[in-house]
Each structure stands twice: as structure tokens, then as C-alpha cells.
Amino acid sequence: MASNHKSSAPRPISRGGIGLTGRPPSGIRPPSGNVRVATAMPPTTARPGSRGGPLGTGGVLSSQIKVADRPVTQQGLSGMKTGMKGPQRQILDKSYYLGLLRSKISELTTEINKLQKEIEMYNQENSVYLSYEKRAETLAVEIKDFQGQLADYNMLVDKLNTNTEMEEVMSDYNMLKAQNDRETQSMDVIFTERQAKEKQIRSVEEEVEQEKQAADGIIKNMSPEKQVKYIEMKTTNEKLLQELDTLQQQLDSLNMKKESLETEIAHSQVKQEAVLLYEKLYELESHRDQMIAEDKSMGSPMEERERLLKQVKEDNQEIASMERQLTDIKEKINQFSEEIRQLDMDLEEHQAWATLLLGLAAHTLNPLTEDRSRSVPVNLSTTPLRII
């Protein structure tokens, strides 16, 4: 029936009417429970009862309905034309967006103020923490001193509880005093050595600075071309040093990687076999590349035949020239051998003549010695020596 039927979805009013979608406007109270709003009726009319009777008035939209106002057509009940209009659709204009923007700005301002307060609190806590930290450092030093004193007092209490003699305490004191004196002397020696080293370092730094100044003076006295060349070489040296550092780092990393890989290989039999196979593969690949290069360098059989024939001819010519040189060398050797033999014969002949001359000289000098024994002076310069 029409009075008990509930519409599942509201329908808009045709020809300028508004549809009752969602919540009603805030200035209008909803109708009472016994009044139902028509889906296609103006707001001043209500749906009739089951037999055309009016419903009870209980809302703003309830009014007296006549059957003639709702004629029946072939398409069903048609809506009644009304002259008044209900509340129009709400338009979101500039003021709405400004209000929304102001609300967001206020929220951001509140959040910023909150964060600012937190930052101030954190800064205060940080300053307090730094002061506490400094105080903790001073207290730690005091605690360390008090701990040393407490250890001394505990040692004295132990000595008193164990009834230790005063002589033993004094001997311990003297021993510790001597140890402290030795350590003090060693510290003094170390301090003096440190001062000497620092002085030496300062002198070396001064010398280095003087050398730098001298080098700068030499550079300033250079010609412009040499200065430009020096600057270029200096930049090149810096670049090379940087490259050297990078390469050294790469080398160190590669050495570390190599050591780790060698360690892994040493602990794995499979990896050792793989390394052997890779080495064999590398040798075979190198041999293959060598054979391919030889094959590429080799020409056709006719070219190889001509090349070999040319090489044989060159070798034969070289052999013939070497044989000629060998023949010349043999002739020279024979000639030198003949000269050596002739020289040996001349030497033997000269040796025979020398032996004969020595014999004659000895025979000639014997009478002279006999006359000297008789005290007869003999003038050797006037005595002629005849050699046959």
C-alpha cells in the first residue's frame, strides 16, 4: 500500500525542486514519526492516506492534500507544480575555503608552538646535561682520589688486624718510596728526551721552512716559461701522487681479496681443482691464440714456397760468404804459422850466435885475469876484441 511503503532512495523534485538527500538542513526540524515526506511532492504537501484521507499534522511539511491536485496519468502520479521553493544546494564559495585555510593555519601554528616549546625544553635539558657532565667529571676525579685514600686506609686496617710489626710497614714504605723515586727519575728522563725531540722537530721544521722559502725564491727568479713549466710539472706530480694513492689502495684491497681467496681455496679441494683447470684452460687459450696468429701470418702455399726459396737463397749466399771468409782466415792462419816458424828459426840462430860470443868473451878474459895475478897492469880499453 502507498501509506506503508518506504522509498529505498530519495528522488529529486522535477522542475527546480530539491531532493531530500542525506541530512536535512540545520534550520528545519525533521517531521514526526507519523508523517512521511513524499519523494516527488512539494514540501507543503504530504502523502494521502490509504483511502484518500489526510494524515495527522505534525511537521512543517504537512498540509491539506486534495485528490484533484494529484491527477492520475498514463505514466502514473505526476508531481504538483508549486510556486515556492525550498532551501537551495549549499555552495562552497571563497569564504568557505578561507575558513578552512584559517583553521589549518591555526592548527599549524599550534603545532609549531608545541614544537618550539619542546625545543626550548630540550635546550634547557641539554644545558643542564652539560653542566651535570662537567660536574660528573670533577666528581669522578674526586672519587678516584678517595678510592686511592680508601685503599691506603684499608691496607692500614689490614696491617693492624694482622698485627703487623712497624718494621715491616716501614720496609714496605721504603720499598714503595724507592720504586716511586725510580719511576720519577724515568719520567724525568722521558720528559727531557721529549723536550729534546720537540726541539729537534722544531729545528727541522724551521729548516724545512727555510728550504721552502729558498725554493720559492728560486721559482720567483725563474723566467716566465720555466715558471709555467714548473707549475705544470707540479700539477702533474700532484695528479700522479693522487693516482698512486688510489692505485695503492686498490692494490691493498686486491691483495686482501687475494689472501682471502687463497685461504678459501686452501680449505676447499673442489676450488683447488677448479684453479688447476682454469690454469690449464688459460694455457690452452694462449696456445690457441698463438696458433691462430701463426695461421694468420702464414700465406698461401705458393707464397710460403716463394718465401722459403728466398730464405734458402739468402742462407746459401750467407753460407758462401762465410766459407770465403773461412778460407781467408785459414790462409791468414797458415801465413802467420809460417812467419812464426821462421821467427823460431831466427831465434834459434841468434841464440847459437849469442852462445858462441859468450864463449869467446870468456876465453878472452881468462889471460887478463892471469896477468892481473902477476901484478901486470893491462889496459882493456886498448886491447882489441875481434869477433869472427
Cα 1 to Cα 6, 51, 54, 146, distances in angstroms = 10, 10, 15, 101
Residues of the chain under the 70 pLDDT cut = 1-91, 299, 365-388
Q: What is the dihedral of CA 350, 355, 360, 362, to 10 degrees?
A: 140
pLDDT at 131: 86
Residue 300: alpha-carbon gap to chain centroid: 55
pLDDT at 222: 84
Which DSSP helix (H) or strand (E) runs through 158? helix 94-161
DSSP β-bridge partners for residue 73: 76
The residue type of 298 is M
- Pairwise CA distance, residues 30 & 49, whole Å: 20
**Residue for cell digits 886491447?**
383
**pTM for the whole structure:** 0.28
Indicate the burial class of 294 (C-beta count within 10 angstroms; 0-12, 13-18, 19 or more). Answer: exposed
C-alpha cell at 145: 682520589
pLDDT at 197: 95
Closest CA relative to residue 39, chosen from 30, 31, 47: 47
pLDDT at 48: 45
- Pairwise CA distance, residues 143 & 150, whole Å: 10
pLDDT at 369: 52
Residues in the chain: 388
pLDDT at 359: 81
- Pairwise CA distance, residues 262 & 272, whole Å: 9
